[in-house]
Structure 1
Amino acid sequence: MSTFINTAIQLARLRNAEPDQKLNYLLDYIAIADLVQRYGHATDTHDFRLLRTCYGDRIDIDHTPTIGMGRMRVSADKWCQLAEKFHGQLDGDEHIMIPQNIVINGDTASCHVLMHASHFYRGANGSPYQTLVGTYDLKFVRSEEGWKITESVQGVSWTEGNWQFHNDIKDSLGTPDLS
């Protein structure tokens, strides 16, 4: 089996593949793109049970730009509880997630995601608006329940608005146990 490094190479190899291989690729591609959108939707609607369906049981996380904890392997249950504590304090979220370069290698996959996240917090000291623009580099594994995120590395290109309320909310979480 070939290991693919980008979508273009994978599509070139699929050009002469059997119809069932092409169909399976398309179904996997759609499922992964849908998973990325479900992740954003679950966060925006504060549906943290739905968010939990996006992850395997343990995930590698590096969201240093926004939470500052470095790279860590965490319980997905506890990660989603932390997301609920953080986003639950906000009055509104909007995550625009654009999956790019979905690469599928058997039962594993990866995807680069463009992200534009806006946050609204009425209780802010100053402006209630904060936006960050960046990326997620995600890895996935196929499970019996479908594709699951197993790794999430966040990058931030720039922010606008009141970053202080983001830090205030983050600081209110203390040092969470994510093991």
Structure 2
Amino acid sequence: MMHDFSDIFHIQQLLARFANCFDLKDWAGLQNCLCDSIYTDYSDLRGTPPEIMSPAKFADMRRSALHELQTHHLGTNTEIDVNGDEANAKVSMVIYRKNASGETLHTHCLYQFGLSRQSEGWRISRIVQKVFWSDGNKTIHSGITHSESKPAVQ
């Protein structure tokens, strides 16, 4: 299938900006990566059900969960499929997290993104995180549900 490589480039830039915004704690920039309404599924890591939310809620939830952590999101193995004004992308990612005490939680995962071409450019409409495994202390991440009924992060 022939793609407009300009779209591929712009989507790659958007996905890199999305990851970098977490690490720079650029919550306004993070919101600008998103459509007006986004579907999210972080159930593999967080133990919470999928939901549809606004960019502001998405950014506020990440700000609250990550404000005390240093993070580094590294993405690779990016696959992008463009179909008109919609696209899907898969990105393998390792998320490094460290708190002020030096405790860590690192997650190896695959992000599955839905993207939509908007008047201002490509934006993310869907985020699904599939966790392969995590190493470290899950209690340093306040965004993870620490329920006894949920299996421990391995």
TM-score (norm 2): 0.88
Task: Calculate percent identity across the aligned residue pairs.
Answer: 25
Larger helix proportion, structure 1 or 2?
1
Alpha-carbon shift at residue 97 of structure 1 (Å): 1.3
Aligned to 1:69: 48
Q: How does 1:16-165 map to 2 (within 5 A)?
A: 25-90=4-69, 92-98=70-76, 100-123=78-101, 128-165=103-140
TM-score (norm 1): 0.77
* Misfit runs of 4+, over 4 Å: none
- 1:170 aligns to what SS in structure 2? coil
Aligned to 1:170: 143
Aligned residue identity for 2:79: N
Higher CA-based Rg: 1
Aligned residue identity for 1:140: L
Unaligned runs of 5+ in 2: 146-154
CA distance in 1, matches of 2:88, 2:34: 14
Alpha-carbon shift at residue 171 of structure 1 (Å): 6.2
Alpha-carbon shift at residue 99 of structure 1 (Å): 5.2
CA distance in 1, matches of 2:26, 2:143: 19
- 1:30 aligns to what SS in structure 2? helix
Unaligned runs of 5+ in 1: 1-9, 15-21, 173-179
Q: In the alignment, is the contact (CA less than 8 A) between 1:113 and 1:136 conserved in 2?
A: yes
Cα RMSD for the two superposed structures: 1.6
Larger strand proportion, structure 1 or 2?
2
- 2:143 aligns to what SS in structure 1? helix
Aligned residue identity for 1:163: K
1:141-162 Cα shifts (integer Å, max 9, x gaps): 0001110000001010011111
Q: In the alignment, is the contact (CA less than 8 A) between 1:63 and 1:70 conserved in 2?
A: yes
CA distance in 2, matches of 1:171, 1:107: 34
